[in-house]
Structure 1
Amino acid sequence: MNENILGLVAGRITSVSMLPQLFKVLKQKDAKDLSWLMICTLIVGLSLWVWYGFLHHEWPIILSNAFAVLVNICLLISYFVYREK
């Protein structure tokens, strides 16, 4: 199997892993069970992977982790919008 295809498939699977959580929060308008610290830590780690991908010209790493950063930023915004008041 081509390494880039393997990287893209693996990246796509891990990148979409937070989508069910985001959809649940948006549908229920409830984020009380989310940890903003975990989401922030994940965003930092994923952003570092994007940077690493740029340094090594690795498009599978860049694309999958950039998408995951966007999903987690949406989740973090949702946390602050829907958290318990």
Structure 2
Amino acid sequence: MKLIIGITAGVLTALAITPQIVKTFQTKKAANVSPFMFIVLLTGNGLWFYYGMLIMDWPILITNAFSFSMDILMLILKYRYRNNH
């Protein structure tokens, strides 16, 4: 049961950024996106990933690797669409 709760929590957390990424792709605008928020998320997810490595917990590793990737993607989109209004 703990494993199911952990995986569900990790998946939901990892997917939370998806609506922002989809909206940014659709509108090609990222002026109102805070890069600082995604830098903080990137750092936090990176640390969670490292923690998962230390304790060899696959749900933590997989979901935070995905979250880390999504944070990087959002920062790339922020940079790519920074001048679109």
* TM-score, normalised with respect to structure 1: 0.94
Deviation of 1:41 (Å): 1.2
Q: How many matched pairs?
A: 84
Quote the sequence identity (%). 36
The answer for the alignment partner of 1:45 in structure 2 is: 44
Q: CA RMSD in A?
A: 1.0
The answer for the alignment partner of 2:7 in structure 1 is: 8
Deviation of 1:84 (Å): 2.1
SS of the aligned residue for 2:67 comes to helix
Q: Does 1:78 align with 2:59?
A: no
Q: Which amino acid aligns with 1:51?
A: Y
Could you list the per-position Cα deviations for residues 9-62 of structure 1 after superposition, in whole angstroms to 9, with x for gaps in the alignment?
111011000001000001100000011111111101100000000000111111
* TM-score, normalised with respect to structure 2: 0.94
Q: Which amino acid aligns with 2:49?
A: V
Q: Does 1:36 align with 2:38?
A: no
